[in-house]
Structure 1
Amino acid sequence: MLVTLLLAVAGTLVVDLEPSAAPGLPAAVKITQVVTAPKTVDVGFVRNGKLVRVERVVPRGVAPRMHGLRELTQGPTREERARGLRTAIRPGVRLRSLRSGQGMWLANFSRSLFGPGSDQTVRTRLAQVTWTLSRLGGPQEYAAVSAEGRLATVLRLGVRPGAWHATEGEKRYLYSTRGIQLRLWQLGYLSGADVTGSLDYTTSQSLLAFQGWEDLSRTGTVTGETQIALATADRPRPRDRGAGRRVEIHRDLGVLLLIEEGEVFRAVHTSTGTGGITPSGSFRIYRKEIMSWSVPFSVWMPYAAYFVGGIATHQYPHVPEYPASHGCVRLPEGEAARVYRFVEIGTPVHVF
């Protein structure tokens, strides 16, 4: 009886005490064992061009999220193939790593995920990956998919991927320009409206800001080291995480941060004064002019916001990847107007 009670407390038994047929005799004990259902994950395979849910049992001690994607890369069983299930993922594809953060999955596969196959085939592979990830639950809304640690694309969960248009990068690693733009948007370097699928001026400027902040070679293009950094980067963190709005200008990195309530709202490529002529220190915006005339240099400065003497943030047609101004903080077209709207008279500006 003591063993029975201990097992009941442990949750492995259900004990039902029934009265005996005759008075004075011990009560009959009915013992029912509780069987815990095994954990399962859903995997997305293909039948007649459509995604089909297949359930897989998760072995004890194995993380469900890892097991789901590994089962996906192994493909349907012989019995499932006999029932018409197929996969677009090539044999030999391996999951290198999977982690979550910033509301998204970061999935890293072997390079063969993007191996030989038509654009439609690669699209189906990505659809299988994102569908399987979407069935894991949790707050994740996007998935960043990498090959051997190099970002290839970013996809929204629950939405079938669009057409796969690949660009060949360094060492022939493929990437989607739209996917690169989505990643820059998530990290605060680009606006959602600028996710166009085209490597345009705005995207190039955002790449310069990202490369500067991550201490990479500043090219404004999708280099190999940029793909690697994008796969695992975090949104920039300001030095000052106080309340309210403020601006940080990091001269050596060539990056201006717009900060609100301690979080980076936007990271912008900038070019400050050559030879360190832009002073470091803490200042405040004291004057704003949509179109300001520079008397010393006889040039118009659109969206000028002055923070010390005659030095201001403003739009300029040439914003190189190195300090090149006479002291002002040059900003690209589009970004200058954003900074101008963000700041007000009295907004703190910290220059490092």
Structure 2
Amino acid sequence: MRLTFAAAAPVTVLLTLLPGPARANPPVSAAAKDELLPALTRTVRYKDYNQDVQILQEHLRRWGYSPGPVNGYYGDETRAAVWTFQKVNGLRPATTVGERTRNALFAPVRIRPLVRRAPGRRVEIDLRRQLLVVWKRHRPVLVTHVSTGANTFYCDHGLCGFARTPVGNFRVTRRIKGWHTGRLGAMYYPAFFRGGVALHGSPSVPSRRASHGCVRIPMHLAKKVYRYAKVGTPVYVRKPAKRLNGRGGGGR
């Protein structure tokens, strides 16, 4: 059941990620043409359940992020969207949405490609910022925070190795619907792009590098990435020398 508040009602907007000017300005629906979303003026925190969280969710959806149901509850899906938004805007990922993040909601930076002039649909993975972006016809159609190889030695499930996500140009070679149990654990809707390394959903996608080498995706976006990442889809994995966009610095 949708949470209803006595104060400002949510505004209907068209959800999109635009590559346009540096300060994104997405189109809105006819019903919301002359309306503005209410400002988020107070700090909100993980597990909060109130009107301010609903306002946050409306802003995230307006800019094309995926906070889950707009219901006023700050759960895991909203947390993933907050981390994604913070990473794109050069802010340190934090579950608390403070002043810096609130300010960025009104003038977010646009997402820039890692690989310029790359044709058609592709998946780009930024190892430095731990972001995955799906591009289609020079437009970002999906963006999410991810967790890639931890860059450390491991011994798990009787296997030992170095947890590294490979850098380079790849293509999706095979896909598996639903859950798949690999040699190092379970993967949800995996799309393999180099040997046993895959893009896949996981219940555990921390804000840091933590995988054996795969690219972990939040569960609520795993199917969407799977649908875009068809066999043959290019997968570009990069570790940029510097931030491509964002305000720089830490904070919330």
Look up the match of 1:263.
139
Partner amino acid, structure 1, of 2:203: P
Runs of 5+ unmatched residues, structure 2? 1-22, 152-162, 239-252
Superposed CA deviations along residues 69-128 of structure 1, whole A, max 9, x for unmatched, are: xxxxxxxxxxxxxxxxxxxxxxxxxxxxxx993236xxxxxxxxxxxxxxxxxxxxxxxx
Cα 1:330–1:100, aligned 2, differ >3 Å: closer, same or farther? Answer: closer
Partner amino acid, structure 1, of 2:171: R
* Cα offset, 1:141, TM superposition: 5.6
Look up the match of 2:241.
none
**1:102 pairs with 16, 26, 48, which one?**
26
Alignment of 1:185 onto 2:61: yes
Look up the match of 2:164.
277
Cα 1:237–1:321, aligned 2, differ >3 Å: closer, same or farther? Answer: same
Choose between structure 1 and 2: higher helix proportion: 1
- Check whether the contact 1:209–1:255 (CA below 8 A) recurs between aligned residues: yes
Look up the match of 2:180.
292
Look up the match of 2:112.
237
**1:211 pairs with 80, 86, 108, which one?**
86
- Check whether the contact 2:44–2:96 (CA below 8 A) recurs between aligned residues: no
Partner amino acid, structure 2, of 1:232: A
What is the DSSP-based 3-state SS (H/G/I as helix, E as strand, rest coil) of the residue aligned with 2:135?
A: strand
- Check whether the contact 2:24–2:110 (CA below 8 A) recurs between aligned residues: no
Partner amino acid, structure 1, of 2:96: T
Look up the match of 2:127.
251
- Check whether the contact 2:149–2:211 (CA below 8 A) recurs between aligned residues: yes
Matches within 5 A, 1:141-220: 142-146=35-39, 151-152=40-41, 168-169=43-44, 176-190=52-66, 194-220=69-95
Question: Whole-Å Cα distance in 2 between the matches of residues 349 and 208 of structure 1?
Answer: 22
| TM-align CA RMSD | 2.7
Cα 1:221–1:338, aligned 2, differ >3 Å: closer, same or farther? Answer: farther
Superposed CA deviations along residues 191-247 of structure 1, whole A, max 9, x for unmatched, are: 6x6222221211101111111122212113312211111121044232335442111
- Check whether the contact 1:284–1:307 (CA below 8 A) recurs between aligned residues: yes
* Cα offset, 1:175, TM superposition: 7.6
Cα 1:312–1:204, aligned 2, differ >3 Å: closer, same or farther? Answer: same
Choose between structure 1 and 2: higher strand proportion: 1
Cα 1:141–1:263, aligned 2, differ >3 Å: closer, same or farther? Answer: farther
Look up the match of 1:227.
102
- Check whether the contact 2:199–2:215 (CA below 8 A) recurs between aligned residues: yes
Look up the match of 1:327.
213
* Cα offset, 1:190, TM superposition: 1.1
Aligned identity (percent) is: 34
What is the DSSP-based 3-state SS (H/G/I as helix, E as strand, rest coil) of the residue aligned with 1:233?
A: coil
Superposed CA deviations along residues 297-328 of structure 1, whole A, max 9, x for unmatched, are: 2x221110001121101111211111111100
- Check whether the contact 1:316–1:330 (CA below 8 A) recurs between aligned residues: yes
Question: Whole-Å Cα distance in 2 between the matches of residues 325 and 300 of structure 1?
Answer: 12
Question: Whole-Å Cα distance in 1 between the matches of residues 35 and 215 of structure 2?
Answer: 35
Partner amino acid, structure 1, of 2:214: C
Q: When the two structures are superposed, what TM-score results if normalisation uses the length of structure 1?
A: 0.51
Look up the match of 2:159.
none
Question: Whole-Å Cα distance in 1 between the matches of residues 121 and 74 of structure 2?
Answer: 31
Question: Whole-Å Cα distance in 2 between the matches of residues 328 and 168 of structure 1?
Answer: 34
Look up the match of 1:58.
none
- Check whether the contact 1:315–1:331 (CA below 8 A) recurs between aligned residues: yes
Question: Whole-Å Cα distance in 1 between the matches of residues 26 and 112 of structure 2?
Answer: 13
What is the DSSP-based 3-state SS (H/G/I as helix, E as strand, rest coil) of the residue aligned with 2:176?
A: strand
* Cα offset, 1:272, TM superposition: 0.4
Question: Whole-Å Cα distance in 2 between the matches of residues 272 and 288 of structure 1?
Answer: 19
Larger Rg: 1
Matches within 5 A, 1:112-127: none
Moved over 4 A (4+): 167-170
